[in-house]
Amino acid sequence: MITLYTISTLSLIVVDNINMLVKNIFKLKNLRFLALVFLSACIENAPLDSLSPEGPYARSIDELFWLTFWIAVVIFLIVQGALLLSVFVFKEKPDSPEPKQIHGNTKLEILWTVIPVIILAVIAVPTVRTIFDLANEPKDALKIEVIGHQWWFEYKYPDYDITTANVLVIPADRPVRLEMWSNDVLHNYWVPKLNGKRYLVPGQTTYLNLHADSPDEFWAQCGEYCGLSHSKMRGRVLSLSENDFEAWVKNQQQNANKLEGNSLAAEGQQVYLNAGCTQCHVIDGVWDVQGDRIAPNLTHFANRNVFAGAALYNNRENLSKWLANPAEIKPGTFMPNLELTEAEINALIAYLGTLK
Amino acid sequence: MTKIIEPSKQSSIFRRPSSETGIWSWITTVDHKRIGIMYGYAAFFFLLIGGLEALILRIQLSQPDNNFLTAAEYNAMFTMHGTTMIFLAIMPISAAFFNYLLPLQIGARDVAFPRLNALSFWIFIFGGAFLYSTFIFGTAGAPEGGYLAEEVGWLGSAPNGGWFGYQPNAGMKYSPGTAMDYWAIGLQILGIASLISAFNFITTIINMRTEGMRFMRMPVFTWMTFAVSFLLAFSLPIIAIALFYVTFDRKFGTTFFLTEGGGDPILWQHLFWLFGHPEVYILILPAFGIVSEVLPTFSRKPLFGYAAIVFAGFGIAFIGFGVWAHHMFASAISPVAQAGFGLSTMVIAVPTGVKIFNWLGTIWGGKLKLNTPMLFSLGFIGMFVIGGLSGVTHSIVPADTQQTDTYYVVAHFHYVLFGGALFGIFSGLYYWFPKVWGKMYNESLGKIHFWLMMIGFNLTFGPMHWLGLQGQVRRTWVYAEETNLQFWNIIVTVGAFIIALSIIVFMINWIFSKRNGEKAPFDPWDARTLEWAIPSPTPVWNFSTAPIVKSLDDFWHTKYSEDEEGRAVRREEADQILLELEEDGLNPSEHIALPNPSYFPIVLASGLPFLGYAVIYKSIPLALIGTVLLLIGGFGWGTEPLEEEIHIDSDE
């Protein structure tokens, strides 16, 4: 036990030094060029970039990745260097003598068995430590339930009695504990800038922590192949300042108002109530679905900047495309083509716009 | 020399096949060399189909929000690309090498069970045809209750649940129709083929080695065949069981993997990867073997650390059974399991590193002849190292939770299975080309092939590393324009077409050289192993007299001794020995009995697809046809002696 402790402490020291070393290498001007070449391949402004962490969890993963990456680069250079060197030096020339028939070298072979073992041991210690750090439930975390559906994510806030979809709203600079399961097939929840992935499994609960440094918007994407529209199972995570978050919660707890009169929006409410939408979609205060709630809750639809599994931005053009034939946009979707007329679609869009 | 082949009259209840040439001679052959060649061509055919599927995928992905394919078609294409490349291309092309070379390398006339060998090949052919018949007969559609804007079409009516078939998505409720049944039963049939050949090769290696061919004198390629056969024998039963569960879930309403009936979808992942990870080594170890033959030959040095390479191969094979859950780091497994499997995955890097360093030790200080097989083997080392290193980054569990299910993983395993396995295979195809056809391939075309493939390969799979890390998720039919992934996706697609071009160059070289290539000299590479101690193309009887082996690389030592410095010195009598070997090899002095051709392997194999269709369509008549074919095949086989009448005599 003591030896194990010593080894792990030593490894940690080594790891910290390597980290320092790597950071110093980056600072050296003449090597900056090398780093630039590497990074020039990288894409600017990729919203799903796992290499630009914006929270402590993602950052601890990122550090671990770069540590391994630089070690791998060194090994890569050694091996490819040795390979190319051998090819250039020992390439057959007219006057090359017959080579010495060497069958092996025990010392060398032991050396190149032991060195990788040591390198891996060095990587293993922070790896195991981070595995457990990431799995721990953080103190005073906000609990949110994430339910996977083909092909959208549903979010429930048991503390606040809120149900929403597609956009996960979290407080900034406070850890969030996601309790996740799936309603149908396997899904995989991924907000690359905040943490790694975790599966959503039917019949089991899995957990994932998120923590955003500051108020911002992040992209989410389902990682696990989950059928026809897997690629369109996306999401947004919105981290809000404390005040904004409280305001958001208050607003979400309000029911929608039943519209009266002859406005276009009120017509749209009639379409919602009569065309078949009420089979699946809840609007609190207007209609409650009997049986399985297999579609997003629309009570605060206009409050979300994306819809249809975050595959579309919430605007007029997209809504009319979607309502005309949902399967055109998300193949396999459970939302039928209700054969709505253009007038009905316009009315519905007007109504949905009131659901703030 | 004359060959006398007497067709027997009525050996069993049926007549013996008697054709020596033409299509029937190939259909009824039990000759390991012919079976190897057929395996090779069939696997290459499927490699082309799998490649075509890859190109279709790449066209779709060259633009964001592209609509070249529908979602259903895209999903069918990536499922079939993976399934084809693994089960119908790389595995059988390795089987082609095993079949052709294994008996030659251990000094045997054939494998232990020649007819089982033929059976294995025909089951593979029928299994592949069965799987691909899904494009004609299969059906697929939206999950129960879901809607599609357009018909699925024939291209989308193939299996669409991924080559890994994760449950419950690949179950009946979410993948209705018959396409996934074709997948499950197709793999089941293909598994039988692999199991049969695995036991055949194990028996052959244990029992058929020529005098003096001790285990530690076997060529490394034979060792790797041995390791792969054990991997197959232990891993295929697992997937067989799992596939039965799936078929039962889909066809007969059981709930092994369905939560609503108390089943567990994660169980499928465990079973699948408990097979699936050893499968990775099934795909790569043959290439390790090939490279371990090519490097010493063209470096004119013995393999550095022969024993270490052999044991590292078995070490990899053994540890390969203890790392499966690293495919599931983001799945529902505990941190303790994550840590355990992360560490075991790191451990497997050690024997792999040993191999790489020993290969470098082999070429270091050699006299390297940089011809096409050597270039592919050197390319193999370079590319495999990249795949190996990205593999280590997967063992860093937290990092893997970012990488898994992204193109980073796609990049990783293509560096291992394309840059590794396929580069090794091409190296072997060029290396043994003179052995199989007795002619030389065109060196210039070979080099053009290598460089085109090297460039195309790196353009295709290199950018996938950062595409994945920057958010491109696997198995996605479209990606949003705002993800800013477009630029590198175009590069990747261009790279894929360069690979296709290189394959065309390879095919031209193959066809042209096979017809008009220069006649290969005896022992064209100044090689080290037994298969080069016989004439090319290999005579039907392989060895006219069973060779006696006195050391590792025995053939080399008959040609070379060492001076005081340890440098190789060609023996004076070497040329004479080679002349005699060629003369003897062509004119056997003794009576050689060879196994007779037989109709029954193909008859027996032809029953299996009928049984497959019978399960899919729950049809008793089809089941009866299948059973009758199995019975006829089995009965005829059982009542037919292995060898008789056909023999090859020296001058009468």
- Which pLDDT value is given to residue A272? 95
CB contact under 8 A, A222 and B473: yes
Q: Is a pLDDT exceeding 70 seen at residue A82?
A: yes
The 10s digit of each residue's pLDDT in B332-363 is 899 999 999 999 999 999 999 999 999 999 99
Nearest to B169 among A87, A100, A186 (CB): A186
**pLDDT-based confidence at B7, cuts 50/70/90?**
very low
CB contact under 8 A, B473 and A90: no
Helix or strand run (H / E) with residue A207: strand A206-210
A80: chain B residues, CB-CB within 8 Å = 382, 385
List, by residue range, all CATH 2.60.40.420 domains of chain A: 264-354
Candidates B428, B418, B379, B382; CA nearest to B496 is B418
What are the φ/ψ torsions at residue B330 (nearest 5 degrees)? -90, -5
**pLDDT-based confidence at A290, cuts 50/70/90?**
confident
Chain A nearest-CA distance from B289, in A, is: 17
Chain A nearest-CA distance from B74, in A, is: 9
Nearest to A98 among B266, B479, B568 (CB): B568
Chain B nearest-CA distance from A287, in A, is: 23
Chain A nearest-CA distance from B298, in A, is: 9
CB contact under 8 A, B562 and A101: yes
Q: Is a pLDDT exceeding 80 seen at residue B459?
A: yes
- Cβ-contact B113, B598 below 8 angstroms: no
Chain B: residue nearest A38 by CA? B466
Candidates A294, A311, A153; CA nearest to A224 is A153
Candidates A273, A268, A276, A288; CA nearest to A335 is A276
Question: Cα–Cα–Cα angle for B572, B574, B579, nearest 5°?
Answer: 130
Mean pLDDT value across residues A9-17: 58
CB contact under 8 A, B483 and A47: yes
CB contact under 8 A, B364 and A82: yes
Nearest to B265 among A83, A120, A186 (CB): A186
CB contact under 8 A, A228 and B72: yes
Mean pLDDT value across residues B206-213: 95
Candidates B413, B389, B411, B446; CA nearest to B284 is B413
Q: Which residues contact B551 (CB under 8 A, 6 or more apart)?
A: B217, B557
Compute the distance between CA of residue A304 and CA of residue A314 in angstroms, rounded to an integer: 7
Strand A152-157 and strand A142-149: the pairing is antiparallel
Counting residues of chain A whose pLDDT is more than 70, the rounded percentage is: 89
Mean pLDDT of chain B: 93
Chain B nearest-CA distance from A124, in A, is: 7
CB contact under 8 A, B147 and A335: yes
> Does A264-354 carry CATH code 3.30.365.10?
no
Burial of A18 by CB count in 10 Å (0-12 exposed, 13-18 middle, 19+ buried)? Answer: middle
**pLDDT-based confidence at B2, cuts 50/70/90?**
very low
CA dihedral B258, B260, B263, B266 (to 10 degrees): 60
A91: chain B residues, CB-CB within 8 Å = 368, 370
CB contact under 8 A, B480 and A222: no
Chain A nearest-CA distance from B400, in A, is: 8
Give me the DSSP letters along B464-508.
HHHHHHTTPBTT-S---GGG--HHHHHHHHHHHHHHHHHHHHHHH
Name the maximum alpha-carbon separation found in chain B. Answer: 81
Bridge partners of A142? A176
- Which pLDDT value is given to residue B590? 74
Q: Is the dihedral of CA A236, A44, A198, B235 positive or negative?
A: positive
Q: Is a pLDDT exceeding 70 seen at residue B14?
A: no
Using only C-alpha atoms, what is the Rg of chain B?
Answer: 25
Q: Which residues contact B636 (CB under 8 A, 6 or more apart)?
A: B12, B13, B14, B599, B600, B603
Amino acid at B650: S
B337: chain A residues, CB-CB within 8 Å = none
The 10s digit of each residue's pLDDT in A103-137 is 999 999 999 999 999 999 999 999 999 999 999 99
- Which pLDDT value is given to residue A39? 60
CATH of domain A2-92+101-135: 1.10.287.90
Mean pLDDT value across residues B385-406: 95
The 10s digit of each residue's pLDDT in B511-549 is 999 999 999 999 999 999 999 999 999 999 999 989 999
**pLDDT-based confidence at B484, cuts 50/70/90?**
very high
Question: Cα–Cα–Cα angle for A78, A83, A87, nearest 5°?
Answer: 145
Nearest to A332 among B142, B332, B482 (CB): B142
- Cβ-contact A349, A293 below 8 angstroms: no
Using only C-alpha atoms, what is the Rg of chain A?
Answer: 27
Residue carrying the six token digits 């540890």: B319
- Cβ-contact B400, B368 below 8 angstroms: no
- Cβ-contact A235, A166 below 8 angstroms: yes
Q: Is a pLDDT exceeding 80 seen at residue B34?
A: yes
> What residue spans of B325-442 are helical by DSSP H?
335-363, 372-395, 397-403, 407-416, 423-431, 433-437
In a mutational test of the A interface, the residue from B319, B401, B526 whose CB has the highest number of chain A CBs within 10 Å is B401
Bridge partners of A165? A154
CB contact under 8 A, A226 and B399: no
CB contact under 8 A, B397 and A127: yes
The 10s digit of each residue's pLDDT in A129-148 is 999 999 999 999 999 999 99
In a mutational test of the A interface, the residue from B163, B326, B331 whose CB has the highest number of chain A CBs within 10 Å is B331
What are the φ/ψ torsions at residue B210 (nearest 5 degrees)? -75, 170
* Helices and strands (H, E) in chain A, number of each type: 9, 12
Q: Is a pLDDT exceeding 70 seen at residue A15?
A: no
Mean pLDDT value across residues B57-74: 95
Helix, coil or strand: residue A199 = strand
Lowest mean pLDDT, pick from B14-28, B95-109, B276-290, B503-517: B14-28
- Cβ-contact B309, B354 below 8 angstroms: yes
- Which pLDDT value is given to residue A11? 57
**pLDDT-based confidence at B640, cuts 50/70/90?**
confident
Residue carrying the six token digits 């060492």: B562
Residue carrying the six token digits 């922590």: A209
Chain B nearest-CA distance from A54, in A, is: 14
- Cβ-contact B236, B244 below 8 angstroms: no
Candidates B428, B649, B637; CA nearest to B540 is B649
Chain A: residue nearest B478 by CA? A231
CB contact under 8 A, B350 and A116: yes
**pLDDT-based confidence at A223, cuts 50/70/90?**
very high
A127: chain B residues, CB-CB within 8 Å = 339, 342, 395-398
- Which pLDDT value is given to residue B15? 66
CB contact under 8 A, A99 and B367: yes
Strand B560-562 and strand A312-313: the pairing is unpaired
Q: Is a pLDDT exceeding 70 seen at residue B119?
A: yes
Mean pLDDT of chain A: 90
Distance of CA A285 to the CA centre of its chain: 33
**ipTM of the prediction:** 0.90
Q: Is a pLDDT exceeding 60 seen at residue B435?
A: yes
Compute the distance between CA of residue A341 and CA of residue A320 in angstroms, rounded to an integer: 10
Compute the distance between CA of residue B427 and CA of residue B458 in angstroms, rounded to an integer: 18
In a mutational test of the A interface, the residue from B370, B396, B450, B454 whose CB has the highest number of chain A CBs within 10 Å is B396
Q: Is a pLDDT exceeding 60 seen at residue B81?
A: yes
CB contact under 8 A, B266 and A201: yes
User: Angle B220-252/B265-299 helices, nearest 10 degrees?
Assistant: 160
Q: Is a pLDDT exceeding 50 seen at residue A28?
A: no
- Cβ-contact B380, B427 below 8 angstroms: yes
CA dihedral B119, B122, B126, B129 (to 10 degrees): 160
Other C-beta atoms lying within 10 Å of the C-beta of residue B176: 17
Under 8 Å CB pairs connecting chains A and B tally to 328
B300: chain A residues, CB-CB within 8 Å = 98-99
- Which pLDDT value is given to residue A1? 47
CB contact under 8 A, B360 and A64: no
SS (H, E, C) B137-196: HCCCCCCCCCCCCCCCCCCCCCCCCCCCCCCCCCCCCCCCCCHHHHHHHHHHHHHHHHHH
- Which pLDDT value is given to residue B276? 95
- Cβ-contact A289, A279 below 8 angstroms: yes
> What residue spans of B476-599 are helical by DSSP H?
486-516, 554-559, 574-586
List, by residue range, all CATH 1.10.287.90 domains of chain A: 2-92+101-135
CB contact under 8 A, A104 and B358: yes
- Cβ-contact A322, A308 below 8 angstroms: yes
Bridge partners of B562? B568
A61: chain B residues, CB-CB within 8 Å = 398-399, 401-402
CB contact under 8 A, B335 and A132: yes
Chain A nearest-CA distance from B525, in A, is: 14
Helix or strand run (H / E) with residue A165: strand A162-165
Counting residues of chain B whose pLDDT is more than 90, the rounded percentage is: 89
- Which pLDDT value is given to residue B20? 72
Compute the distance between CA of residue B486 and CA of residue B63 in angstroms, rounded to an integer: 6
Give me the DSSP letters along A217-236.
EEEEEE-S--STTGGG-EEE
- Which pLDDT value is given to residue B596? 84
* Whether residue B537 has a cis bond before it, omega within 30° of 0: yes
Other C-beta atoms lying within 10 Å of the C-beta of residue A254: 12
Nearest to A102 among B339, B365, B369 (CB): B365
Distance of CA B232 to the CA centre of its chain: 12
Chain B: residue nearest A75 by CA? B389
Candidates A239, A150, A132; CA nearest to A200 is A150
- Which pLDDT value is given to residue B643? 64
- Which pLDDT value is given to residue A30? 47
pTM of the model: 0.93
CB contact under 8 A, A91 and B305: no
Hey, what domains does chain B have and what are their CATH numbers?
Answer: 1-205 (1.20.210.10), 219-299+301-347 (no CATH), 367-531 (1.20.210.10)
Tokens of A87: 């090819």
CB contact under 8 A, A91 and B370: yes
- Which pLDDT value is given to residue B21? 76
Tokens of B306: 């022969």
